[in-house]
Amino acid sequence: MAHVSSPASPTRLVLCERDITTAAIDGAWWPKSLDLRLELPDLLMVFGLWIGAVHRVVYDPSVWLPAPARVIMRRSEMVSLDPYRMVFSDTIYLMGTHSRDAVLFVVPPSSSDEEAQRLLCEVSTSAIPINAGVLRQLARGYASDIGRSKGFSAVAAGSGQLDPSQDISSS
């Protein structure tokens, strides 16, 4: 498992072993904003070392701010940004060279530090591959736990309990 952060800032990206189930992920990412033009350069530079130069990013446009069709990266490399409503809204797909890719679970920028760090820690310390469905369940549970600890009556969409037999494709 890998962490990408600096001592002065919280962890924003963790990697994990990819699962073979539906909604498999390679890691989790906590961007600072919903602006892909600002968020992608550093992310793509890190993944360029792992999957080769990233040439395409697929994302759900209902979640992110409007983005151009292409962005110019360092060294004048072009990366296509492809909005596609059929991907999970909490994932982003990075396509690298030689048919290598990466799928990241996106922790919303609006998440509290506590919630985001708990999710990122779960991904980085999991002894088994983890998928987006499990992370969705955890996020609902953490939001509920954090809301209760602050005295709010948070409504959780789920129980927060993990059920490995659940069909996560509908999550």
Report the distance separating Cα 19 and Cα 103, nearest Å: 11
Report the distance separating Cα 98 and Cα 11, nearest Å: 29
Which residue type, as a one-letter code, is found at position 79? V
Quick one: 18 exposed, middle or buried, by C-beta within 10 A (0-12, 13-18, 19+)?
middle
The average pLDDT across 110-139 equals 91
Handedness of CA 158, 160, 163, 169 (dihedral sign): positive
The average pLDDT across 70-78 equals 79
pLDDT in tens, 126-140: 888 889 999 999 888
Handedness of CA 134, 136, 141, 145 (dihedral sign): positive
Domain ranges of the chain: 2-127
Report the distance separating Cα 99 and Cα 120, nearest Å: 27
The average pLDDT across 38-57 equals 91
Instruction: Work out the mean pLDDT of the chain and round it to a whole number.
Output: 80
Question: CA torsion 38→46→108→72, rounded to 10°?
Answer: 30
Confidence of residue 148 (pLDDT cuts 50, 70, 90): low
For the ranges 63-67, 128-132, 167-171, the lowest mean pLDDT is seen at 167-171
Q: Are 67 and 39 in contact (CB under 8 A)?
A: no
